[in-house]
Structures are given as C-alpha cells and as structure tokens.
C-alpha cells in the first residue's frame, strides 16, 4: 500500500513539473515578460504586393508593402541648424513590431532586436498637390552606426 501511495505522489509531482516547464518555455498561460522572453500578439499575415526596400509605402525595416492608412512607428527630431533635414529614428510598422516579419537593417543586413532602431535623415520636400512630402534616407541601425 505504501508503494502505491509513493507512486501516486511521484506521478503528481511529475505532472506538475511538466506543466510548469511547458508554460515556462511555451507560455500557454499569460504572456511572459522579463529576462528577454516576450510574446507578441500574432497578426494574420495578409498577402502583400511586390515590394522592395525604398519603394513608396514600404516599411524600411521589414520591406512590407503598406496599404493606405498604415504607418511606420518613428520619432522625428527638430532641426538644429534650421535646415530642411532632420534626424529620425524608425522602429518599424505593425507587421514587424507585432507580427512575424523579420526586422532587418537595410544597410548592413543585421537582424534587429526589439530595442534596436534605424537611424535616418528626413528631408522636407516642397508641397505637391496639397500634400507635404518628405524623403527618408536610412543611415544605418544602432548596430552598424555604433550607437
């Protein structure tokens, strides 16, 4: 009888350890954050048109074709010298920040981590057809620029 109780206790402990290990590594419960382990909500990947880095309405980080209304998360700094060019940091679009698209630096080809950004220079253009246009030149990422 004692051996049956010991076997039952070992089975219960084994099941608890398996459940704990599975949730730790695969996260079936709440999203895990901290220690570099973060889970992002998955988005449905939609078919994209033909796109290349530098094309209009294309994310410079993952080269995803963006439809009208989709924006790239960025931060533009004011011009120091009063010129038409300003520095800019680009994080990415919603497909590479929250989806399964790989974030790649278009200059050095380095795969970007979540906290790495692209460093760019933004040039203001003359308004055409009632819209303010701007041109963005990617200088590199925090890895290849040494920042």
pLDDT at 44: 45
pLDDT at 55: 62
pLDDT at 131: 64
pTM for this model (two decimals): 0.58
pLDDT at 95: 85
Sheet of 85-92: strand order equals 73-76, 85-92, 118-124, 134-141
First to last CA, the chain: 67
Domain positions in the chain are 1-39, 40-147
Positions of the chain with pLDDT lower than 70, given as ranges: 27-56, 127-132
SS (H, E, C) the chain: CHHHHHHHHHHHHHHHHHHHHHHHHHCCCCCCCCCCCCCCCCCCCCCCCCCCCCCCCECCCCCCECCCCCCCEEEECCCCCCCCEEEEEEEECHHHHCCCCCCECCCCCCECCCCCCEEEEEEECCCECCECCEEEEEEEECCCCCC
Tokens of 92: 């990415």
Tokens of 6: 């010991």
Structural contact between residues 89 and 117, judged by C-beta atoms closer than 8 angstroms: yes
pLDDT at 16: 92
């Amino acid at each position: 009888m004692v051996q049956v109780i010991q076997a039952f206790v070992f089975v219960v402990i084994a099941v608890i350890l398996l459940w704990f290990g599975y949730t730790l590594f695969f996260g079936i419960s709440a999203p895990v954050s901290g220690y570099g382990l973060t889970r992002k909500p998955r988005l449905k990947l939609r078919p994209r048109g033909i796109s290349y880095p530098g094309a209009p309405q294309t994310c410079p980080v993952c080269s995803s074709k963006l439809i009208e209304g989709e924006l790239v998360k960025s931060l533009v700094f004011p011009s120091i010298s009063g010129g038409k060019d300003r520095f800019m940091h680009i994080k990415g679009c919603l497909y590479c920040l929250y989806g399964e698209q790989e974030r790649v630096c278009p200059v050095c080809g380095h795969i970007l981590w979540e906290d790495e950004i692209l460093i760019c220079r933004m040039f203001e253009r003359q308004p055409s057809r009632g819209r303010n246009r701007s041109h963005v030149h990617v200088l590199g990422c925090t890895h290849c620029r040494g920042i």
